[in-house]
Amino acid sequence: MLNQTYSSTLTLVLLTAITLLSSACGTNPVTKKREFHIVSESQEIAIGKQNYSPTRQSQGGDYIIDPELTAYVQSIGNKLAAVSDRQLPYEYTIINDSTPNAWAMPGGKIAFNRGLLYELNSEAELAAVMGHEMVHAAARHGAKDMERGLFLQGAMIAVGIGAQNTDYANLIVGGAQVGAQLVSSKYGRDAESESDLYGMRYMKKAGYDPTAAVTLQETFVRLSADHKSNFINGLFASHPPSLERVAANKVTLAQVGAGGDLGKEVYAQKVAKLKATQAAYKAYDDGVKALVAKDVAKASLLAKQAIASEPREARFQELLGDIALTQKKPEEALAFYDKAIKMQPDYFKPHIQSGITLFNMGRKAEAEPYLKRANELLPTAPSHALLGQIAEDRGETALALQHYQVAAGSNSDIGREAEARGVRIDLPRNPAKYIQAGVQADNVGNLFVVVKNGSPILLGQVQVHVVKYDAKTGRAVAQSGSLVIKGGIAAGMRNQVAVGQKVATPQEVQLYRAVVEYAEIVK
């Protein structure tokens, strides 16, 4: 009877999957090929909209000190969007990061790192990268990756049923984790080939010389051979260049024809201000590395050099704040973070750093608005963990538990500590949620209650009782008194206590259930 139940459930899962597949057929808007569409266009757009801002926050925030450059990048994107195969609410921005990289999200949200613009030499090369990223969005490459994930989950569910005979990068929590996964995933060879092909077609239609796509790929192949190139950690990580891609681009060039605008002069003009400050950002990047290496004097010198060259950049003030914090000068650090916030109010890092600094100074009421603002821009484990402590201190345990549970979603020491704090609040009220209990018999029929500590904290005594059920009616017919399992039970460990009853057969053990009443938390 049990096997029949599993078989029926598995059949239902498979039939549901088949029904879902048969109702989800569609046509790819770029390739015109028939394919399954589980993620709708409205869902794509919603996913991009929800994740675009927090993902940019997590990668350095927007580059804002040259709005004309941002407008220029947007104008190129608009030209390509006008000739694309799919009309989406495209958006384009520049991220304040020196690593050469670019990415696209579902729904047409596209970003270029400041570092990539240093490396390009013409508007046509920028259009080549832009067109490539646009096709990733237009051809549903990100959506298809998500759909593959849904199918894998479905397959795991089916297997599970049949088998019945878990940098700020690690600190991001909540929905913002989705965006980080979307832009860090590596596209397959087919997706890269499609983006190269149709991206070059978009270039040609928009008036650019597609030759730039070929020469740019040739440059990328040369750079990829140099493992010291910072392209390795950027664009090449998700878009690996190859001689095969170069050859395919040459075939496409022969089909669409060379000729069109290269735009070297206008590109040089538009990026002139950016390139004039490249040394300042190099000093900043080196200063960050020096601080990580605990060379505070070098970090301070480089930060000041960066500010002297580009005094409008908020990141440089943040670095001075971080240096002051390392030197245990919190008031000085707060002053630098305040300058950074005034220069760029909508970037999360100076807010969270201010909140952490104030919290550690005991000024928790002042820290709270900074931590809340940081979470509005980019939810992180540190902000939620500290807000949880502030709420707990005020006796707002329900709110504290919410913050701790969100913080626990990060793969970090802070997340694990927050999880433990949350358990300390929740376990006394819901001990059975964290402690597994069962009844077993030894080889002569003596019954024992065995408990396992599924929480991350050390438990003292655990109190349980045993209920016996009638085999025919399924109703409770007997109940033991409270049984106490003594001794510290570490996370993941088991302990047991004798029930004081015996059973005649192994099958009779199945009629008993253990119920957790109470657990003591070791302070």
Residue 4 has pLDDT above 60, yes or no: no
What is the average pLDDT across 418-442? 95
Q: Coil, strand or helix: which one is 492?
A: coil
In one letter, which amino acid is 299? A
Residue 431 has pLDDT above 50, yes or no: yes
Q: 18-32, 419-433, 474-488: which range is least confident on average?
A: 18-32
In one letter, which amino acid is 341? I
Q: Coil, strand or helix: which one is 453?
A: strand
**CB contact at 8 A, 234 and 101:** yes
**CB contact at 8 A, 501 and 447:** yes
Of the pLDDT bands very low, low, confident and very high (cuts 50, 70, 90), residue 237 is: low
Residue 179 has pLDDT above 80, yes or no: no
Q: What domains, with CATH codes, occur in the chain?
A: 42-139+179-269 (no CATH), 431-521 (2.60.40)
Residue 448 has pLDDT above 50, yes or no: yes
Nearest to 129 by CA among 269, 33, 236, 36: 236
Position 440 scores a pLDDT of 95
User: What average pLDDT does the structure give for the chain?
Assistant: 87
Nearest to 136 by CA among 219, 88, 192: 192
Q: Coil, strand or helix: which one is 21?
A: helix
Token pair 């919603």: residue: 46
Question: If you ran DSSP here, which 8-state letter would residue 479 be given?
Answer: E
Nearest to 252 by CA among 315, 307, 209, 303: 209
Q: What is the pLDDT of residues 33-46, one digit of tens each?
A: 887 777 788 888 88
Q: What is the pLDDT of residues 77-97, one digit of tens each?
A: 999 999 999 999 999 999 999
pTM (two decimals)? 0.84
Residue 107 has pLDDT above 70, yes or no: yes
- The DSSP annotation for 160-182 comes to HHHTT---GGGGB-TTHHHHHHH
